[in-house]
Structure 1
């Protein structure tokens, strides 16, 4: 995974200092002097960590963070703030920011925050990959096979599924075998886990 960091601060000195610090640690760095500049470039940027000043001219850090989320940008956000802005920084974390750092901050604090953010980003990307693979597997099922899978997830035995769907028990067994083969699983719990990963089923459904 490319370790990309996007620095957004209107202070040229901070941008330069952070860029040099991170470039020396095998991180790809790109700096922006405003939130608007980041948002304009965002569609072409790789997933990464955004070091975002809370008190930017123009749109605030909070507003930029919100617009990134609305655009579906896959970034972790670390907010930089002054001591008097802590409540707003907490609000940013409640809205999805990874962390916030008070200025002036220690280098080790920034690096620790970045490592944690990169870890969360990797986890999210792994989960997204698993979700897409699961959705692709489910897309191979016919509408009737999906109906049978849904009933299986709800805990219905073959005879009840047959009655509900107006099929013979033997036909239900055939659909059940076909869907397991198409999903590439050997057991019903495996099929349930795949359906959960794809968003086809909820934890509440499987738990009941």
Structure 2
């Protein structure tokens, strides 16, 4: 059976999103088709408004376009000398929900092919620049909060090599996190234990 072109195109595009395969994309397509116009319009406006957001030049989290920095980097109560290096934005959200970390972040991205991509090299360079220009050469502590996976371990090793002289102390989250786990999905207690047990 052939579906209308509009649905096929929708499924093709939405199947590229994380955790959404063709079956889920078809479900979403039929949901959108059957929803009322007001809800559909609200959803498309919300999706369109995501394009108005920008990246924070300090940590690479999301910020409002008119803001200089994201709300975390702009907060004067944050400890700018302590930075947690994570792979993705959702890890920041999970750590923030824990409510125990008062430092800042660097979103580095996932490791691909066992080496840093150019964008990741630029982000680490930005972190070194912050250490040099704002902190007298070194962060007080860099917490490597990459996922406890093979790729996360390799990325942690690369980060340690890159930041060796730009941090007084480099630690890694403790293994309260299961091997192969994802920071994003850890509960607050597990994540809290991992922060307390960092080495």
Q: With structure 2 as the length reference, what TM-score do the two structures score?
A: 0.31
* Bigger Cα Rg: 1
Q: With structure 1 as the length reference, what TM-score do the two structures score?
A: 0.30
